[in-house]
A and B are shown apart, each in its own frame.
Chain A
């Protein structure tokens, strides 16, 4: 009687705070590093990308308008929930990336630490990247960083959790909303992260996670007039060039793809925060 039937999972997208199926109705099989079946994932289409941008745009006002302190608290809460799910993340990372349990656990710990680190940055960005400018006149001159807007993120293809967190968390910490296309072969940690986000305090639509092929959805996001920036971390080399070109049509901020997927354990500094911030300068008359 111990031969329990396996519960075969068919995951869905995380879009606008809900878990819909792909508009196209498509799914694909996810396998572990040895080729064994793990689960079915939704195969997002360009229309899911379009819907995700609409959701991200409508969530932008509230998220970017929240105080930096509040954003930090919300993001820290995400790290707390991730910690509770660490065992599940470890299993998925180990299966997907073919790591030993210990190495997978180390990657998960690093991902959670990375999230906490970015959560701490929210209320320090204005002090570090803003300034009071010396001006030759009876004015105050301030420069303050502001979020860019809706950011499309093509997540790294190899590092399925640490890589994903390293590209997503800075986008959120800066006050942007995100449309993320996960790793195609290793989407499970992204799906679980979606479940984490849905059960923490992040408002629906701030993060939209699409599982599927970056080469299929990427061009639509790069050309989309309502996407303000695109992170090409997970775009393969020939595609990345093409995406940069189409992103130029609507003058997007583009964070270029590295030639090789970098070592995500390295300290990122401000390298992924600065690209998704715009500097606003204000002149204010000095009262007499």
Chain B
């Protein structure tokens, strides 16, 4: 990792808001310099990353460890509804499910957050008042990100005013892919400022970035710009969250913390539907970045149907017999 993991950089982490962490203070002085920095990041061995993700996916997690994994995964879920047909009623129903995912079992943990479009953030906030469950709102012309910066920032301010605790923004993939890295960076910085106290999750939309090298660059870009979380996908593009992509992003947050002392969370979203997928991700975290990230503060699943499968598996462990889709709510 050459300059990135400079051991001297670890000591001083006292960077104020708006300025870059010390070892990277000048990498954004120009688009060329930023481009040189991002392209200077070590390349990703794609075959190696895929093999590593695959071998970690074969771990067998059973009995008490499985029960722990299921409960941990439930507490990490960002229960999501991002449809054009969303209504306040649907958001309230989802909020009720977020509080008590399994109404037949009070020991079932609540989810981490409810993720909705910005105009419904107020409805979600009201329905979740006093529960400790966050409201996440997607903004910045989600999912395409094709709008002027003023519109995007207005979108963010509107969602924050509506009560969103977390903002999920999309990066401008067009700018990123054409090499205008500084534009993307400045946009994230501006959105972060517009967020105020709300946490910022930066959606990289890895399905459109094509290579794992680009995923690593986008991850660093988003972290340098001040993102509190980096998120794989909008869920509207396929492929969405895959294990190799998640592995590369986890390595990026690990290296970033080693270099700057600032910890950034990771949120895979889209395509994670089964308990088995979720457990694979938990194994991946533990083996890549360690248990520091095994908490809803640092890792989230963006998902809608995953929660039902987790609940079915949980019921199976509790009752000893297989459960069925009639025993969980239809979202």
User: Which A residues have a C-beta under 8 Å from some C-beta of B?
Assistant: 50, 53, 57, 220, 223-227, 246, 249
B322 interface hit (Cβ, 8 Å): yes
Nearest-Cβ distance from residue B274 to partner chain A, whole angstroms: 11
Q: How far is the CB of B104 from chain A (nearest CB, A)?
A: 12
B324-A220 in contact (CB<8A): no
Listed from nearest, the 10 A-B pairs whose CB atoms lie closest are A226-B324, A223-B321, A225-B324, A224-B322, A225-B323, A50-B322, A225-B327, A225-B322, A224-B321, A226-B325
Chain B residue nearest to A249 (CB atoms) is: B321
| Complex CA–CA separation, A226 to B320 (angstroms) | 14
Interface residues of B in 301-325 (CB under 8 A from A): 315, 320-325
B324 touches A223 (CB 8 A): no
Tell me which of A53, A220, A225, A249 contacts B326 (CB under 8 A).
A225
Query: Residues of B contacting A53 with CB < 8 Å?
Result: 322, 324
Instruction: Report A-chain residues with C-beta under 8 Å of the C-beta of B321.
Output: 220, 223-225, 246, 249
Q: How far, in angstroms, from A246 to B322 measured CA to CA in the complex?
A: 12
Contact call B322/A57, Cβ cutoff below 8 A: no
Q: 1/0 contact trace for B282-304 toward A, CB 8 Å?
A: 00000000000000000000000
Chain B residues, Cβ within 8 Å of A223: 320-322
Closest Cβ–Cβ distance, residue A42 to chain B (whole Å)? 20
| Chain A min CB distance to B36 (Å) | 51
- Chain B positions near chain A (C-beta within 8 angstroms): 315, 320-327
Q: Which of B315, B322, B323, B324 has the most CB of A within 10 A?
A: B322
Q: Which residues of B contact A57 (CB under 8 A)?
A: 324-325
Q: What chain B residues lie within 8 Å of A227 (beta carbons)?
A: 324
Query: In the assembled complex, how far is the CB of residue A207 from the closest CB belonging to chain B, in whole angstroms?
Result: 19
Contacts of B324 in A (CB 8 A): 53, 57, 224-227
B residues in contact with A246, CB < 8 Å: 321
B320 CB contacts on chain A under 8 angstroms: 223
Name the residue on A nearest B321 (C-beta): A223
Residues on A with C-beta less than 8 A from B327 are: 225
Q: How many A-B residue pairs have CB under 8 A?
A: 28
Residue of B nearest to A53 (CB): B322
Chain B positions within 8 Å of A249 at CB level: 321
A246 to chain B, nearest CB (A): 8
* Min CB gap A61→B, angstroms: 12
- B238 nearest CB across to chain A (Å): 20
Give the residues in chain A near B326, CB-CB below 8 Å: 225-226
Q: Report B-chain residues with C-beta under 8 Å of the C-beta of A226.
A: 322-326
CB distance from B224 to the nearest CB of A (A): 44
Instruction: Taking A53-B322, A223-B322, A227-B324 as given, write out 4 further A-B residue pairs in contact, using a Cβ cutoff of 8 Å, ordered by the A residue number.
Output: A57-B325, A225-B321, A225-B323, A246-B321
8 A-B pairs, CB-CB below 8 angstroms?
A50-B322, A57-B325, A223-B322, A225-B315, A225-B324, A225-B326, A225-B327, A226-B325
Within the complex, the shortest CB–CB distance from A134 to chain B, in Å, comes to 34
A225–B315 Cα gap in the complex (Å)?
Answer: 10
Bound complex: CA of A246 vs CA of B320, how far in Å? 12
- Docked complex Cα distance between A220 and B327 (Å): 17
For the complex, give the distance between the alpha carbons of A220 and B324 in Å: 13
**Complex: A223 Cα to B320 Cα, angstroms:** 9
CA distance A19 to B227 in the complex (A): 47
Chain B nearest Cβ from A3, distance in angstroms: 43
B72 to chain A, nearest CB (A): 23
Chain B nearest Cβ from A153, distance in angstroms: 17
Q: Nearest Cβ distance between residue B265 and chain A, in whole angstroms?
A: 33
Decide: B325 and A220 in contact? CB cutoff 8 A: no
Q: How far is the CA of A226 from the CA of B315 in the complex (A)?
A: 13
> CA A220 – CA B322 in complex, angstroms?
7
**Which residues on the A side are within 8 Å of B323 (C-beta)?**
225-226
Chain B nearest CB, measured from A235 CB (Å): 17
Bound Cα distance from A57 to B324, whole angstroms? 10
What residues on B are CB-neighbors of A225 within 8 Å? Answer: 315, 321-324, 326-327
Chain A: minimal CB distance from B328 (Å): 10
Distance in Å from the Cβ of B93 to the closest Cβ of chain A? 22
**Shortest distance between the CB of A285 and any CB in chain B (Å):** 29
Contact residues in B for A50 (Cβ distance below 8 Å) = 322
Which A residues are CB-close (under 8 A) to B322? 50, 53, 220, 223-226
Q: Output the least CB separation between A181 and chain B (Å).
A: 15
Closest Cβ of chain B to A21, distance in Å, is: 17
User: Measured between C-beta atoms, what is the minimum distance from A185 to chain B in Å?
Assistant: 27
CA distance A53 to B326 in the complex (A): 13
